[in-house]
Amino acid sequence: MMPSNLVRITLDKKATSFTVEYGDRQQPGLTAGEEEEFEQLNEELMEYSDFTVAEELEDEARQQLMEKKKRLEELAEKKIREHIDWYPIEEDLVESLLIVCGPEIRHTYVENLPSYLLDRILDPKFTLNISYPPQGEPMRPSEKDEGSSHPQTGLDGRTANELKVIKVVSSANPSWNDYVSVKEEDGVVYVRPHKFLGDIWGPINTALKESFGDTWKSKGTGDKQACWQCKVS
């Protein structure tokens, strides 16, 4: 079996069975193949930045589009966040398992405990004594994922109009800088998608429309220059 401190157990109460998986914690990033897949999906889905275009597709084509969108989101998440790869253990290798949990003890997980010990533990007369750490000894804090929030890009050097637009965009999506760029040119603030927006397009469009009017400019399907053009008064 694969040694790991990460264990995931799925119980099927109807079938009275369970599945055990060991986890391998991975740092943020993509393999070369995944990076190529990520860029290809971004390229394919850019023409659907205006997600209303998908409504014109046939059911099968729309379903394929949604599957690509889901895969793109998975890769985007994997690219910036620590993640865990799970590996299921063959069913016949785990016949029994015991989990002991408590607010002030280290969680204990045991596989394939001998049957006579299981019988003793399940005996109503059996008392399980668990030793707590000596009084005053600090408990080891549980590990928490770090970096769960997106880093904020620096706002130094931004124009006053850019800041006003960024405030509106960030109200629709705090991670706006992962999806769009904001740049003022000749008195107009352009909000340009640099990846497929999918469901994110709607909230951003609504927020900008409420603040600056109908600003989305697109020539239709496949227009890679489509963007929001905001005139800030």
- Residue 104: its pLDDT value, please? 64
**Residue 110 pairs with which residues in a beta bridge?**
98
Residue 98: strand, helix, or coil: strand
- Rounded Cα gap, residues 96 and 22, in angstroms: 15
Domain extent listing, the chain: 95-127, 160-230
- Residue 40: its pLDDT value, please? 92
Q: What is the pLDDT along the chain (233 residues), one digit of tens a residue?
A: 455 678 888 877 777 778 888 888 888 888 899 999 999 998 888 877 666 666 677 888 888 888 988 899 889 888 888 878 888 888 777 777 777 766 666 667 677 777 777 677 666 665 555 554 555 555 454 444 443 333 344 566 788 899 999 999 988 888 888 888 999 998 899 999 888 787 888 899 999 999 999 889 887 766 778 899 999 87
Structure letter (DSSP) for residue 177: G
Span between the terminal Cα atoms of the chain, in Å = 65
Amino acid occupying residue 205:
N
- Residue 124: its pLDDT value, please? 61
- Rounded Cα gap, residues 13 and 16, in angstroms: 5
Compute how many other C-beta atoms are within 10 angstroms of the C-beta atom of residue 42.
Answer: 15
- Measured in degrees and rounded to the nearest 5, phi and psi for residue 41 equal -65, -40
- Residue 190: its pLDDT value, please? 94
- Residue 144: its pLDDT value, please? 43
Tokens of 214: 């109908």
